[in-house]
A and B are shown apart, each in its own frame.
Chain A
């Protein structure tokens, strides 16, 4: 089973500053047939369902602000918020969609410093 490990578990960043969340998978998520990384990022605010932000490791979902970006390949991935806004306070999850377990990371709680 693919294990997804996020770091840190929680993060406090000042408004306007950069926030970086890491995600490591126990096996490569890069598919050789299409050279795509089967990795997604979600944002979840209290009392709401998760919202898809990024898939294929770096493709922004429609309507997602461009301050959100994803990078990485293989087993190591990063979600970056370039300039933190108050509405970005949430828990962020990575998810692999490479294998049939479609596992999520444990989540990273992002707060304002």
Chain B
């Protein structure tokens, strides 16, 4: 069964760019499904960030669209998240995930990685 693992810096300063990578195992991104990112501030609820298809087509939450870039590298079986101009409000656990068939609804999730924004 597919496995996903997030990686990237855990501490950023305000105004920096958050960069995370999701490494996928036991399934080829090129084979299909959507791949995406969701975040959860400590002790709070979930926010859908965006997703990408194997052909590079991207889908972003309108509230974050101006700052978000999601990309895919099928040769490495990875996809990535960049979030620019971070503030303390971007402090959260960031999850990468794979979708159910045909919808940007995620049913396989990584364990998540905490990113803290602090000066």
Question: What is the interface of chain A, defined by CB distance below 8 A to chain B?
Answer: 1, 38, 40, 42, 48-52, 55, 61, 93, 95, 97, 100-107
Contact across chains for A103 and B111 when beta carbons are under 8 A apart: no
Q: Which 8 pairs across A and B sit closest by C-beta, in order of nearness?
A: A102-B48, A49-B109, A52-B107, A104-B46, A97-B105, A107-B45, A106-B45, A49-B95
Residue contacts A-B, CB under 8 angstroms, 10 given: A1-B62, A49-B109, A49-B110, A50-B109, A55-B103, A55-B105, A102-B61, A103-B48, A104-B45, A104-B47
Known: A50-B46, A93-B46, A95-B46. A101 touches B104 (CB 8 A): no
Contact across chains for A101 and B105 when beta carbons are under 8 A apart: no
Question: What is the interface of chain B, defined by CB distance below 8 A to chain A?
Answer: 38, 45-48, 59-63, 95, 97, 100, 103-107, 109-112
Set of chain A residues within 8 Å of B47, measured between Cβ atoms? 104
Contact across chains for A97 and B46 when beta carbons are under 8 A apart: no
Complexed CA–CA distance, A49 and B111 (Å)? 6
Set of chain A residues within 8 Å of B100, measured between Cβ atoms? 52, 55
